[in-house]
Structure 1
Amino acid sequence: MAKIGYFLSCEEFGPARLLEQAKMAEEAGFEGLWISDHYHPWNSEQGNSPFVWSVIGALSQMTSLPVTTGVTCPTMRIHPAIIAQAAATSQVMLNGRFSLGVGSGENLNEHILGHRWPPADVRLEMLEEAVEVIRLLWEGGVKDHHGRYYTVENAHLYTLPDEPPKILVSGFGEASARLAGRIGDGYCGASPEGDLVSLFRSSGGADKPAHGGAKVCWGEDEKEARRTAHRLWPNEQLPGQLAQELPTPAHFEQASSLVTEDMVAEAVPCGPDPERHRQMIHEYLEAGYDEIYIQQIGPEQEGFFRFYEREILPGFR
């Protein structure tokens, strides 16, 4: 049976609330944590964006659960040599319970320093080289790297864990799923697309873990839950490459004006019916995921955790 974890949303909550949610998740019986890594939220309604590495440091003192970034982009906004140091320190602080989820990023977060936003194939090349740099530095000792995209000179990570973190690679298309199978220690996806999980496994992922991220909006009133999900996360239903290409929260708000409440409610389990929540988890299981991380949209966090502890999690242990 799959492992069920909780997905901490840095776009929707500040640090104190994220720490509270992590504690509630562990008490409710969730088995791990994902945490997002953004510079901006997707829209202003979400309203937050704390620095993930500070929050991870605090999580190490708050919970005994494993923590995975879902996901970090180690290519533009932060140099991979710095991500290597941050992830190594996180692994030390979490006593070996940290995994580094990485992806090729979104223009929303990565263009802020004025760099050109490259096309998808270049972003994947950059990601592959970034992972190479990170693993090189985790070997210890003084390291140099002179590659196509990154230069590292006389870099020596002195604080290293006994075992380096696993690197899970995000895949939203065929090229990235193949890359995840080839260079990753695991795979991250955000939809129950079995074809991509299968492609990851056939490209070298075989017995490596596949993590899936999902969203729900629990609430006693289904209509209110639908409204909340639509108000906060309409961007989830934008098609194609828009999520990777739009540069600001304002652009996401403009595009999301075309997304209806019914479109969101069709994709996101809303309300108190446990069967809808179970069905979503089964869809991820059938797609081939080993671990599923569920994000509760909106303020009804305490009720959500009680509901999952009572109605949902026991059936998946």
Structure 2
Amino acid sequence: MTEQSGPKALVDYAVGAERVGFDFEVSSDHYSPWLAAQGHAPYAWTVLGAVAHATERVELMTYVTCPTVRYHPAVVAQKAATLQLLADGRFTLGLGAGENLNEHVVGEGWPPVDQRQDMLVEAIEIIRALHTGELTTYDGEYFRVDSARVWDVPEHPVDLALAVSGEKSVQRFGPLSDHLVAVEPNADLVTAWNATDGAPGIGAGGARAIGQIPISWDPASKDAAVERAHDQFRWFAGGWAVNADLPTTAGFAGATQYVRPEDVAEAMPCGPDLDEIVEKVRPFWEAGFTDVALVQIGDDQQQRFLDEAAGPLLDKMRAAAG
């Protein structure tokens, strides 16, 4: 999570996560942290390039990149192709409609949600076209590409994973993507995806449903874990309709001032109990998700989590998931 650790630490944690047995690693792509207490926001693509070089086996993914305001989609196409080459085919480009927090910084404003989704459709079309390696000109409502070509392209195009939140977004983006991304274990999303014409089937059809859940493991006590989660992750309680539109860390601090520690503890597993974490993750695989990313909250216990808890936790989750 680029919002809670510096770039060198992130690379070290990525290497450690591969060593302990994780199958894949996802990276947020932020210009700002959610809350000032998190304290970091290095450039995700530089970090991912270093991680690609420092690891050998683990899959990599952006979770997720907005290719419409802060980045032009032609630039996203180029850097995704480059990263795929550095990672020897281990990279998936996760895409979404973005958050005001990160996109407003370039001074282009923050469009309403319907327009953001229209822009995302054009961005996907541009990225797909440029990943063919062919000379591309594109004249859309929001983006223009003038005689562009990505010169270094991987042998196989980069898979695209699209963030969806409801049936409308599933129907729109399912046919345009290779995999589903969602942060809630909603079985209706998987069902709707598999029922959408043109969307690759999740599971047997080769598509993946990739979820994410925050956890706050702490070897000492549940109280310490809850305190850290409340300090750094209470923004999560607002829901994505709110999270997408607030522009600053001060806005998130104000919007979450009445979120209590017990509210955070109810929303995510906190403390030393690995079985509790497994039970909180269980709804994802029961909903049909194929992959789940764990976000260990806070930098201060990250290395200890990898050294002491991650291996046993992976064993427990794999056994529980069958």
Give the alignment's TM-score, normalised by structure 1: 0.94
Residue 278 of structure 2 contacts residue 316 of structure 2 at CA under 8 Å; is this kept in 1?
Answer: no
- Looking at structure 2, the residues matched to 216 and 200 of structure 1 have their Cα atoms a distance apart, in angstroms, of 27
- Looking at structure 2, the residues matched to 253 and 167 of structure 1 have their Cα atoms a distance apart, in angstroms, of 33
- The CA RMSD over aligned residues, in Å, is 1.3
Residue 67 of structure 1 contacts residue 98 of structure 1 at CA under 8 Å; is this kept in 2?
Answer: yes
List aligned pairs for 1:182-197, cutoff 5 A. Answer: 182-197=175-190
Residue 216 of structure 2 contacts residue 269 of structure 2 at CA under 8 Å; is this kept in 1?
Answer: yes
- Looking at structure 2, the residues matched to 190 and 296 of structure 1 have their Cα atoms a distance apart, in angstroms, of 15
Residue 37 of structure 2 contacts residue 231 of structure 2 at CA under 8 Å; is this kept in 1?
Answer: yes
Structure 1 residue identity aligned to 2:27: I
- Looking at structure 2, the residues matched to 117 and 301 of structure 1 have their Cα atoms a distance apart, in angstroms, of 34
List aligned pairs for 1:154-173, cutoff 5 A. Answer: 154-173=147-166
Structure 1 counterpart of 2:311: 309
Structure 1 counterpart of 2:115: 122
Identity across aligned pairs (percent)?
Answer: 36
Residue 10 of structure 1 contacts residue 35 of structure 1 at CA under 8 Å; is this kept in 2?
Answer: yes
How many pairs are equivalent? 309
The superposition leaves residues 268-311 of structure 1 with CA deviations (integer Å, 9 ceiling, x where unpaired) of: 10011122111122111011110111010012123322212024
Residue 131 of structure 2 contacts residue 158 of structure 2 at CA under 8 Å; is this kept in 1?
Answer: no
Give the alignment's TM-score, normalised by structure 2: 0.93
Residue 278 of structure 1 contacts residue 312 of structure 1 at CA under 8 Å; is this kept in 2?
Answer: no
RCO higher in structure (CA 8 A, sep ≥6): 1
Structure 2 counterpart of 1:180: 173
Q: What SS does the aligned partner of 2:105 have?
A: coil
The superposition leaves residues 25-45 of structure 1 with CA deviations (integer Å, 9 ceiling, x where unpaired) of: 111111110000011111101
Q: What SS does the aligned partner of 1:245 have?
A: coil
Does residue 231 of structure 1 match 2:235? no
Residue 143 of structure 1 contacts residue 156 of structure 1 at CA under 8 Å; is this kept in 2?
Answer: yes
Q: What SS does the aligned partner of 1:241 have?
A: helix
- Looking at structure 2, the residues matched to 163 and 156 of structure 1 have their Cα atoms a distance apart, in angstroms, of 16
Structure 2 counterpart of 1:67: 60
The alpha carbon displacement at 1:156 in A equals: 1.1
The alpha carbon displacement at 1:315 in A equals: 4.4
Structure 1 counterpart of 2:213: 214
Residue 180 of structure 1 contacts residue 205 of structure 1 at CA under 8 Å; is this kept in 2?
Answer: no
Q: What SS does the aligned partner of 1:292 have?
A: strand
Structure 1 counterpart of 2:270: 270
Does residue 259 of structure 1 match 2:259? yes
Does residue 31 of structure 1 match 2:23? yes
Residue 33 of structure 1 contacts residue 68 of structure 1 at CA under 8 Å; is this kept in 2?
Answer: yes
Which has the higher mean CA deviation after the structures are superposed, 46-55 or 237-246? Answer: 237-246
Residue 136 of structure 2 contacts residue 147 of structure 2 at CA under 8 Å; is this kept in 1?
Answer: yes
Q: What SS does the aligned partner of 1:112 have?
A: helix
Structure 2 counterpart of 1:139: 132
List aligned pairs for 1:69-84, cutoff 5 A. Answer: 69-84=62-77
The alpha carbon displacement at 1:228 in A equals: 0.3
Structure 1 residue identity aligned to 2:233: W
- Looking at structure 1, the residues matched to 182 and 113 of structure 2 have their Cα atoms a distance apart, in angstroms, of 17
The superposition leaves residues 165-204 of structure 1 with CA deviations (integer Å, 9 ceiling, x where unpaired) of: 1000001233222233121100111111222222222222
Q: What SS does the aligned partner of 1:68 have?
A: strand
Extract unaligned runs of 5+ from structure 2.
none
The alpha carbon displacement at 1:240 in A equals: 5.6
Structure 2 residue identity aligned to 1:291: D
The alpha carbon displacement at 1:22 in A equals: 0.6
- Looking at structure 2, the residues matched to 85 and 283 of structure 1 have their Cα atoms a distance apart, in angstroms, of 36
Extract unaligned runs of 5+ from structure 1.
1-8
Structure 2 residue identity aligned to 1:218: W
Which has the higher mean CA deviation after the structures are superposed, 31-40 or 305-314? Answer: 305-314
Structure 2 counterpart of 1:290: 290
Residue 37 of structure 1 contacts residue 70 of structure 1 at CA under 8 Å; is this kept in 2?
Answer: yes
